[in-house]
Chains A and B, each alone.
Chain A
């Protein structure tokens, strides 16, 4: 066991710490921008707005310039151009979290499309999309799920035909978050109807202003998460919008899905929320008694803290396995989405419970605490328990690939 990163990181750590001190508790001026509401909720960005005020796009530019964001993405595509260094990434994440420095913009374009293009895209595609995506100028939505392709995603039926050098797309996507703000969609389309289920899918980029696209809001239980249904009626995009080869879409999508699952349950964000909850329990009172002084509430808090500490320690072990390739943590990686989303839902729900009646307040109610973030995130994480591969699907993955248990036999009878 050696938790030191080594003296070669001392200087780097100090630079990051200095930066973080300067921007501790910073406020993003256009923070109420709905486009980023989800990302802020996920990353656990602070609600103690006591620091400097920064503009979102300038903040993004500054983080890239410092190498605190898009660190290992080449300069020519708008990144910082540093060598990939897991330890430096970890130092940045830890210091930002500790000092409640706002995170960079995220979202599906940055988190999923950029790594996809870096791995699979043509030079033209990289040049065209990565820089503007990193700077938040191009917002992306993800077109994967369909009404009949949820847990069984490979069953997707939205069809694309190559006609005269253009893809002509017809069908429907669902659960498309931020579609209404997006300039582009990355999409899984069935282009090879005669191939087998998984081999018939291609990964195609679609500008959202293409004629034939209709976006219908799909209101969810939070009333503000902003999912949509997206319909395609002879939507025509150029042939070169295909990423990788025809029929490789399933592999392309899978290569970054693991990344999404990990990022849904960032342990630093969870730790931040725990600290916010502790502050809430010290400030709020019932009959003049602080909530943290109510033994049953305090015990529940400590139970959640034990779980948060366990996943934090676990993230160190996962980090270690990336630095030391001989270390086997296969099962350890598979459990992240399941454990992380359930824990976050529990933590947010605890805050609601301890607030009693006040816990039901929402949106802009004058008495609402922390901007209604507890109810919002509580519900939103129920969505994440279902989304990104339901937690039941996660349990199938853990039991089959992690524990070597047999697959459920295929049912052949018509029900």
Chain B
């Protein structure tokens, strides 16, 4: 019996952490966030790809590493920890899972190796299936997709985009289709991109198995939620480390502020809140990997909503520990704060996800 990340998973995680520490310092993050760091961003992206994160969830049969979601969780923690300004949850978790679970054999053979070779990068937009806002939502008629999709993840500069109809059928389109209008959404989180898509009879290809079984889109969403929870976990961990480090340096009243119980207790509360979260997120990923559907969906929902709550609280307290500096752009702590804030809202805000968890358990019958 062993409960935790394996040595291999920790090793991979450390590599990503180290890469980000060396290549994506706060100055570089700031440059990318201001929209002036296109080249820099591609360099970072290429470096991360060289580590192999695009191949994780593609089965070996199609040239990938064929590891489980727990492995991706380990990477997602590292990306959250360093507010990695690269596509991951959509392009390299939800997309390969959607194709592998929802595609026909022919589609898998065609699409999955191209994720590994980095010829094709997918954006993913499933928000309308989780809960459609305003007039958003997609339909397919005569093999043409129409409608509006919000918060499409990792779609900027992508090659193809995986979307879902209101009924949960997964399909993909070409990002450069002439009948597609894409515009970037201005969110608080500048470390990742989100788009709004308007489709007007766009050519599309349905992932065939997904049309037969609604469980497939749900599973892809479970995975996305677990990965976002892991991102919040890593980002929260980093915020606590920064708060503790700052409190040991900063002096007021001739003492380091970390010697005041008011400050120590805030740090202890953050640590106590976050510590069980590692276990919850890892167990959710493990449960997903061993494929116990009911348990894993409940765990995915609870990991997503619980991490959203803990992340919110940690990001507030850690900012407070930094005092006025925490509020400035100088330290850049807000990049973590905002990333945690975005993770909370996407693919179901906590109340919505908890309601799903209640349904899974048959509470509201």
Contacts and interface: CB of A to CB of B under 8 A. Distances in A.
Interface stretch (B23-31, B51-59, B257-265): B257-265
Contact of B306 (A6, A87, A307, A338): A307
B126 interface: no
B358 interface: yes
A317 B259 contact: no
B205 to A, nearest CB: 35
Contacts of B239: none
Interface stretch (A214-222, A353-361, A406-414): A406-414
A402 B270 CA distance: 12
Contacts of A299: 351, 354-355
Nearest to A399: B264
A323 interface: yes
A310 B306 contact: yes
A317 B278 contact: yes
Contacts of A402: 268, 271
Contacts of B355: 295, 298-299, 302
A5 B2 CA distance: 9
A4 B3 CA distance: 10
Contact of A409 (B259, B267, B282, B351): B259
Contact of A306 (B272, B286, B289, B302): B302
Nearest to B279: A313
Interface in A383-401: 392, 394-396, 398-400
B291 to A, nearest CB: 13
Interface in B176-205: none
A11 to B, nearest CB: 17
B272 A398 contact: yes
Nearest to A333: B275
Contacts of B345: none
A6 B1 contact: yes
A405 B248 CA distance: 7
Interface centre among A314, A407, A409 (most CB of B within 10 A): A314
A406 B263 CA distance: 11
A396 B261 CA distance: 7
A323 B1 contact: yes
A293 B278 CA distance: 31
A338 B267 CA distance: 13
Nearest to A316: B3
A363 B26 CA distance: 60
Interface stretch (A13-21, A25-33, A324-332): A324-332
Given A332-B275, A409-B255, A400 B264 contact: yes
B13 interface: no
Interface in B306-349: 306, 309
A339 B364 contact: no
A408 B260 contact: yes
A298 B358 contact: yes
B279 A303 contact: no
Nearest to A407: B259
A320 B256 contact: no
B3 A317 contact: yes
Interface in A45-63: none
A392 to B, nearest CB: 7
A295 B256 CA distance: 46
Nearest to A392: B265
A313 B6 CA distance: 17
Contacts of B364: 292-293, 298
B50 to A, nearest CB: 27
Contact of A2 (B2, B264, B305): B2
A302 B358 contact: yes
B269 interface: yes
B279 A317 contact: yes
B302 A309 contact: yes
13 contacts: A295-B355, A298-B364, A299-B355, A301-B358, A302-B302, A313-B3, A313-B282, A314-B276, A314-B280, A317-B3, A323-B2, A405-B259, A405-B264
CB-based closest 7 A-B pairs: A313-B279, A320-B3, A306-B306, A399-B264, A395-B268, A314-B276, A302-B354
Given A1-B70, A320-B3, 18 more contacts: A1-B3, A2-B2, A2-B3, A4-B1, A299-B355, A302-B355, A303-B305, A306-B280, A306-B306, A310-B306, A314-B275, A317-B278, A323-B1, A332-B276, A395-B269, A396-B265, A404-B244, A406-B248
